[in-house]
Structure 1
């Protein structure tokens, strides 16, 4: 009997055809590791949903194989699903990450009361063995300190996952990408490269983060009133540069917004944010200082309704108000889908008399992801046999695939995958295998995974077309109408007459429909509800071209 060849399975469960919920599984025999466990924030297509997670059923069904979870860096789109995954696993699993990454992860796990998680710190240049996987960690630049790429060596193949990266030649913390390590890995043989695709369609190089610091110092020197800076709470490099510019201009720093307060505290405690404690004020204490001596650092760069910046703009923040002459800097780029929310906040700030500066008017933000020339250099340094673009929407993935082909990777060795699509590698080569269970899990309040497409579709209908309820009372023996129907509408706009006339017409339609069912001797509630729903739906469509949710209630006497 011929022994079956060993196969390495690479299974992306998230991060493809989207920006967010990054998760990749590497599986060999009886061993499996997960790289990243991220989330994605909802958009207009998912009303009422709080968070979107990757469907990690594939991992849960094979949890006896799971040897560890590797987190490449501390951003939510790489860590946010971790608490939910650990809860569902129901067993201790090592979580590997660098010092800052684990510091941020620990705080997140404590919020979920997961105090017994097995956190294992790794350092760039270190080696860890997890079952059949030998893992090496390589330093990379990104918009958060302490990011790493993961080089996974197995008896079958060597896989390099870059995580999120840019090739910043002048990083503000002095921590360069490990060019020598990537080149060494390339000389040793990289079977498969999984590489960040976010900026694959942008030509040239991504500017250095240091450029933002120069811009901030110039703006701070010229500003006369209070300065308010909104940024991602996890963008510690940006936070450091805001603090540096504040100190250079003689201003004290006020931090507000729960995640901003937590992340800056963790980063300062671990030594990744260098600012004297004496320069940071409690928000209540800034009232004793003139506006030109204060910088407020807050969350809300994405226009989130409950964020600190949104509350400041709406004048309902407890301690911070915006006054004419203040300068507001939005030091971030809107995530696709958030543009309207950000625009609303900016308009409110202008109405309050503030001068608003964003990346459209000054270089107050640069990306943390490498552009085309940096991505090509990564391929050239590592010289992979096979290539899979990850972390990006479909057009990013295809743009990255073209870049890889342009620097020598054969086109038939480049695989543009979908979430759930397996890539199998053995001694004979690599090939796309079957699709495994994948998709999304919705977090809605305390509910995880219980919100389905039917619920979302109902919420979309309610938000766009409204609801109409009709309550009818029928004789249980004959099916005839026993009382005047009651009709209630919310969010439904009907043209051509006033509300009283509309309700009268709708009642007439109901009587006509019930007369038809009574003549046929129908007493089944299901049939009567369908007739009522069809009749009222047709009426509303004729009058408004809307499709509200129609809810018939049938009572018997």
Structure 2
């Protein structure tokens, strides 16, 4: 009997950042390596990637990374992973091409070339484990599910999927293959939960195309389309609708051009007309009713760009009366506030807004019926909902119970939870500690909870600075405290608060100077504690308090003066 463990490194109780470790005996198989973008309070954080700590400790056991598709939630963390782990990566032609775009900016990875192309017919024998794949329907071509076959049954990872009977060949699900996998015996199903809460059936892509085409046909002015760059299916529909309605398309953004030109080069995306795409700088050569501007990006980035267009801060496009802004990507629940704010800004600019999700129930992810059909085809013994916040995973669990999966065979996991197959049962085992790794610019993992807490305080309550000069040798204050503030209070209308704060600092500093055992650390903490207490009492806010103490040592020899600055701002604590 094989020794099996399942460990979610990311992708549970959260949207995106998919990464799952399947251990079979002494080997570890990594399924996807994704990231997520901060949605509500970024606080300077660019992206969030999985915590590789456990994998670092077991690096020698990792067989490889197996990718389901080319979206950032599946491949986005790959550059950071490959910086540390020199292991092979398996994916389809398009998925690998998009992964290479992600890693080419990293100088360390310029010589990395351990990519292996697979498709739905590929079967890789690793001795006691076989990895194979099956086609699924998603918003990008060549989306795959993964089968990890062991002597105790298969672990099946759906990746992102939905069922659409009208899907074109590059997007079709292989139902017969799913039935074969189910007949062969499925131990556990890791199932996409992103759309599990939606009680309605999602419309097929033919209906979505008709909406896009009608919108292009019956609009006289310019159309600005917002779409995620890697949503290749939607980009194809936009190209087709533009060509059928005698419009030209201009792309904005470097990311869009790279992804779209890569898909065109690999023939995963087709241009209905050779001259359909025109440079953005040339789009104004055409009448406005012949223009389509395709604004793409990652996650919420198209919305941010639309906001800039509406207030005339975009580098190339400004919205005006007569424009139609067409948002063609269905946002996550966490983005709803941003969508509403973006719509409001666009209307203020005089343009109109249209969204696919307001008119049609569209999604690239499985509905309740899709989830249950997948379970009935595969007939898993255990179901593990993944890819979604807790309520979505819980809705997926309800789908599993409805098709007869016993409640005790359904696991709603946290990151770091471990399921172990023992004595013919899959049971919870001792977990491991797994967090998130925050990416801020070029910094990887150097942003922790303390830094985020300080950033939140600065954003919400500002900073309060107290500057004072002392002569420690003479035990006296040379220059009285000076108070300044940024983002906390308006100094001109808060003179009483400033005066009292200066008095508090004066008293604390003099008390510390009079103490025979003077200690810089104690002085800093003393100022912080007393000011924090007073300021909260007066304002009910907690600004970041920064004491700056300058020490002056006066030597009368040759009437020289030496000034030594000792900034005593407390250094950032380490977690």
TM-score bucket (shorter structure): over 0.9
1:131 Cα shift? 5.0
Unaligned runs of 5+ in 1: none
1:507 Cα shift? 1.0
Partner of 2:535: 540
Q: Distance in 1 between matches of 2:317 and 2:488?
A: 39
1:456 Cα shift? 0.6
CA displacement, residues 319-378 of structure 1 (integer Å, 9 cap, x when unaligned)? 333221111101122334333433333233222221111245433x72100111110111
CA displacement, residues 519-552 of structure 1 (integer Å, 9 cap, x when unaligned)? 5445211122222112211221122111001111
Mapped pair 1:314 → 2:308? no
Going from structure 1 to structure 2, the CA distance change for 1:88 and 1:336 (only over 3 Å counts) comes to farther
Q: Distance in 1 between matches of 2:302 and 2:36?
A: 17
Contact 1:478 1:521 in 2 (8 A): no
Going from structure 1 to structure 2, the CA distance change for 1:360 and 1:165 (only over 3 Å counts) comes to closer
Give the alignment partner of residue 337 of structure 1, picking from 311, 334, 338.
334
Partner of 1:110: 104
Give the alignment partner of residue 89 of structure 2, picking from 82, 91, 95.
95
Q: Distance in 2 between matches of 1:214 and 1:320?
A: 27
1:67 Cα shift? 1.4
Q: Distance in 2 between matches of 1:190 and 1:305?
A: 40
Partner of 1:230: 226
Q: Distance in 1 between matches of 2:50 and 2:247?
A: 43
Partner of 1:273: 269
Contact 1:474 1:482 in 2 (8 A): yes
Partner of 1:180: 176
Partner of 2:286: 289
Moved more, 206-215 or 374-383: 206-215
Unaligned runs of 5+ in 2: 553-575
Partner of 1:504: 499
Moved more, 458-467 or 113-122: 113-122
Q: Distance in 2 between matches of 1:63 and 1:519?
A: 57
Give the alignment partner of residue 211 of structure 1, picking from 207, 211, 216.
207
Q: Distance in 2 between matches of 1:299 and 1:151?
A: 33
Partner of 1:357: 354
Going from structure 1 to structure 2, the CA distance change for 1:45 and 1:297 (only over 3 Å counts) comes to closer
Contact 1:301 1:332 in 2 (8 A): no
* SS, match of residue 231 in structure 1: strand
Contact 2:296 2:302 in 1 (8 A): no
**Equivalences for 1:326-475 in 2 at 5 Å?**
326-359=323-356, 361-363=358-360, 366-475=362-471
Q: Distance in 2 between matches of 1:112 and 1:149?
A: 29
Mapped pair 1:17 → 2:47? no
Q: Distance in 1 between matches of 2:102 and 2:434?
A: 25
Q: Distance in 2 between matches of 1:108 and 1:137?
A: 23
Q: Distance in 1 between matches of 2:127 and 2:12?
A: 27
Moved more, 277-286 or 470-479: 470-479
* SS, match of residue 19 in structure 1: coil
- Deviation >6 Å, runs of 4+: none
Moved more, 275-284 or 42-51: 42-51
TM-score by length of 2: 0.91
Partner of 1:242: 238
Contact 1:22 1:77 in 2 (8 A): yes
Q: Distance in 2 between matches of 1:236 and 1:339?
A: 23
Contact 2:154 2:186 in 1 (8 A): yes
Going from structure 1 to structure 2, the CA distance change for 1:278 and 1:494 (only over 3 Å counts) comes to closer
Partner of 2:545: 550
Q: Distance in 2 between matches of 1:480 and 1:100?
A: 71
Query: Aligned pairs, how many?
Result: 549
CA displacement, residues 194-234 of structure 1 (integer Å, 9 cap, x when unaligned)? 11011112124222122211111111111011111001111
Partner of 2:296: 299
* SS, match of residue 338 in structure 1: helix
Contact 1:301 1:330 in 2 (8 A): no
* SS, match of residue 392 in structure 2: helix
Q: Distance in 1 between matches of 2:505 and 2:493?
A: 19
TM-score by length of 1: 0.94
Going from structure 1 to structure 2, the CA distance change for 1:117 and 1:336 (only over 3 Å counts) comes to farther
Partner of 1:62: 58
Mapped pair 1:323 → 2:320? yes
Q: Distance in 2 between matches of 1:351 and 1:324?
A: 10
Contact 1:469 1:550 in 2 (8 A): yes
Contact 1:301 1:342 in 2 (8 A): no
CA displacement, residues 84-115 of structure 1 (integer Å, 9 cap, x when unaligned)? 000011x2x21111111111111112122423
1:118 Cα shift? 1.1
Q: Distance in 1 between matches of 2:475 and 2:204?
A: 76
1:23 Cα shift? 0.1
* SS, match of residue 375 in structure 1: helix
Moved more, 456-465 or 178-187: 178-187
Moved more, 315-324 or 72-81: 315-324
Q: Distance in 2 between matches of 1:180 and 1:204?
A: 25
Q: Distance in 2 between matches of 1:250 and 1:104?
A: 30
1:289 Cα shift? 0.6
CA displacement, residues 460-513 of structure 1 (integer Å, 9 cap, x when unaligned)? 000000011112223324644232112121111279x82444322221222233
Contact 1:72 1:149 in 2 (8 A): yes
Partner of 2:509: 514
* SS, match of residue 299 in structure 1: strand
1:248 Cα shift? 1.0
1:287 Cα shift? 1.6
